[in-house]
Homo-oligomer: A and B are copies of this chain.
């Protein structure tokens, strides 16, 4: 079984490991077809981690994957051999207060594929085969390309963000930052019935993709810093802003153009921002975070499986697993790539 293992910053290797045992009762074995490279995968590859989370041992990367069920253990009722599935990379503990309250994305003891937050690290899903619990397997229709099904996880993150500030239906929406999560958030807002979606970025290709996936107006704030100025009168225009750039200036600008009682949902991880407390108080803004996903994983799979969304404009390139290093190098070049995937043995 080939795997994509990070050993240290810029030391990424394709290694052959023994396949995992199993499946045991309640488990299924999936031959992976496609895996998308996420921002966190890139951080491990480029920097060996982020913040206080650091690689302490080699770790298989990857958590945005889909494939075909090749073997099922006893008592498996949810899927059968041959089914195409998107794989939910998250194993919440089921026992902590957040799990009990229905917020498993805040689990105090979660196991998440390809994460160095725990030690030993939780090995990831960039591999030819993986054994998962049946609850992690979400079937997609046979005619849906598995490359699209592999978008289920990041799209579910965007859908989760879209729910954080109440219903999007009829709302005027600003999305700052048009990388993969920004574009998926645009798609989520469009699905949710936003009446108007304005987006900003500093990259012309990113803005072009954003327009393809549903933005009504795409503004290049590198070319025109004051691009949002016309949305400031009457205390602001947008009902909801989704901050997907991680850039503190984007948050600061959003405070001026989001209307009183509106929401600014922080999706992108970022550093320290300056927050003028008076703006938040007098406009009664709601600045809230969105992290990972929950029941929205199933929503994402349904929307992809029923072809209500089209992920193809986001897929810049696919590489066979042997070329994983080239895939990561290309993915790291944000000026050229949106989402880059790796193909595995189970590819259609």
Chain A residues within CB distance 8 Å of chain B: 51, 94-95, 97-98, 100-106, 108, 159, 162-164, 166-170, 188, 191-193, 195-196, 216, 234-235, 246, 248, 251, 260-261, 266-291, 295-296, 298-299, 302-303, 306
Q: How far is the CA of A288 from the CA of B260 in the complex (A)?
A: 11
The 5 closest A-B pairs by CB, nearest first: A102-B102, A170-B299, A167-B167, A270-B277, A281-B289
Closest to A264 in B: B287
CB pair B235 A108 closer than 8 Å: yes
Complex interface: chain B residues within 8 A of A191 (CB): 169, 193
Number of copies: 4
The complex places the Cα of A295 from the Cα of B171 at a distance, in Å, of 11
Given the known interface contacts A274-B273, A277-B272, A277-B273, the answer about A261 and B168 at a Cβ–Cβ threshold of 8 Å is no
Contact A103 B102 (CB under 8 A): yes
**Complex contact B276–A272 (CB within 8 A):** yes
The contact of A163 among B167, B267, B268, B287, by CB within 8 Å, is B167
- Residue pair A283, B291 in contact (C-beta under 8 Å): yes
Q: Pick the contact of A277: B94, B103, B246, B281 (CB < 8 A).
A: B246
Task: Give bound CA distance, A289 to B139, whole Å.
Answer: 34
CA distance A261 to B109 in the complex (A): 16
Which residue of B has the minimal Cβ distance to A301? B195
